[in-house]
Every structure is written in structure tokens, then in C-alpha cells.
Amino acid sequence: MSAASKNHPRVTIGVSLKMYFGHHQTLNWARRIADTAARHPAVTSGTAELFVLPAFPAIVPVAGILAGTQVRTGAQDLAAEDTGPYTGEVSGAHLKEIGASYAEVGHAERRRLFGEGDTVVAAKTAAALRNGLTPVLCVGELDPVAPAEAAARTVAEAQRILATASHDSAPAPVVIAYEPQWAIGAPEPASPEHIRTVCEALTAWLATQPALTGSRVIYGGSAGPGLLTELGTGVGGLFLGRFAHDPAAVEQILDEAMTLHAPATTPAAANSPEGAARWLTD
């Protein structure tokens, strides 16, 4: 077992399929991801953790397709309550029972289209935590601002939500997905400098929170192939949307993760360009 898998992965790659795929298209996509994950050294070594968030009806069959590949599944949303007369809702308890590991909360689309503010996002984050799910907490500024200002606003947002959400829960990690709202669906992501500044500020804040030990910060917002290489090792991974619709793009990003974060047990020669290429093709 690699050093990465003993503790936590060096890179976290998440994929939200949103509502783009039909059911059979989702399952076919998952089969290709399963094939990639079963053979890709970034996943098999524990260097990268990959999780996917399909539509609710596909969670169980997708988990079955991905069984044995180390890829985890989760939901794009969850209810703030665990049981009761909440028509159309899906609880964290239900998600845990069917094998989900993650639950996305606070995405900008949920805020804009369904009016979810910090109080609702905190309640849903708390629901994920008390049911043993890792929240994928989306935070990010609404409009473009300077990197330092974006960092201050985003850390304050995470503080507001997690101060309430984690108050009554046992210590547990979260994944913070930094997604500047102005970059979601845009032709290009935020600049590498902007992303690093905000993600490093979030990581530094998390380091002061013992109850959130093991938490990670990843970037979303028009993230795709090539970005991880530009960001280097200062960001914990990526949260992908439409650029993951092609499984080949997911594999390319895993290649980048392997090049950037080869396991410590890999011979030093593997850190050379020639060694990295051999590692990726083994």
C-alpha cells in the first residue's frame, strides 16, 4: 500500500454529472470510468481518489459498475432532515444505506435556482456529517474580484457554514470545492494564480480546525484537462462538470495527477520525464 493510500490521497478528483445524461448514458459512462480506474496507476496506487455524483436514480447501479475499482459514489444533493414528510427529498440516511460516500452541498446552481442560502447549506452539511457522508461543500465569490479579496470572502463563507454544520458532529473531514460562481460554465476557469491564492487560504484555515482534520480543498468552475498541471501541487484536486463527459478527459486528468504526485515509494527515476512516462504506461 502506498503512502498516499495509508493516509489520504494526494489528489482528489470529483465528477458531478448534473442532469446532462439519461440513465443508460450514465451507466455507459460509468463503465468506461470503471475500466479506466481499474488500470490507472493514479487510482490503483491511492495517489488519486476519484468520486462520481450521478443523478439519484443512478447511484445504486453506478456503484455496482464501479465496485472493486476504488471509485466512490455520492449524491448531488441531500435533504436537511433524516426522515419525515418531505415529498421528493432524499435523506442522508437513505444515501448512506445505498452505499453513497459523498454528498454535494451549496452549489451555486442550488443557491441561484432553488434559493438555498447559508442556513440551508449548513443544515445539509450537518445532515451529511451526522450520516457518515463526506460533504462536498461548494463555496466561491459571486463576481470577479482580486485574488486576495476572493480568498477573504471564500474563507468567511466556509467559516459561516462549517461553524454551524460541524458544531454537533463528531470530528470528520470535508471536501471544500472552491467554485467561483462567475467561472461556472464559463469558457475558461479562473487563472491559476487566482485559484492557488484562494485554495491555499482555505487550506490554511482548515489547518486551524481540529474538528476538520483530513479535509481537502479542490477547484471547480470550468475545470478540465491541463488545469491540474498548471496548478501544480498547491491545490488538492479538481471538481469536474462538463469537461468530464468524455471519459478520455478524466483519464488525461488522472495522467496529470500521476505525473505531479507519484507515490513516495516510486523510485526516484520515475520523477524524471522518462520515468513518469514509463510509470503511466505500466
Catalytic residues: 107, 179
Of the candidates 99, 167, 163, which has an alpha carbon nearest to the alpha carbon of residue 133?
99
The answer to whether residues 101 and 50 touch, using CB atoms and an 8 Å cutoff, is no
Q: Rounded distance, CA 205 to CA 155, Å?
A: 7
Instruction: Name the residue among 233, 218, 224, 220 with its Cα closest to residue 251.
Output: 224
Burial of 85 (0-12, 13-18, 19+ CB in 10 A): exposed
Q: Do residues 137 and 158 lie in contact, with contact meaning Cβ atoms separated by under 8 Å?
A: yes
Q: Is 257 left (phi over 0), alpha (psi -120 to 50) or beta?
A: alpha
Query: CA 277 to CA 75: how far, in whole Å?
Result: 35
Neighbours of 51 (CB within 10 A): 23
CB 97 within 8 A of CB 78: no
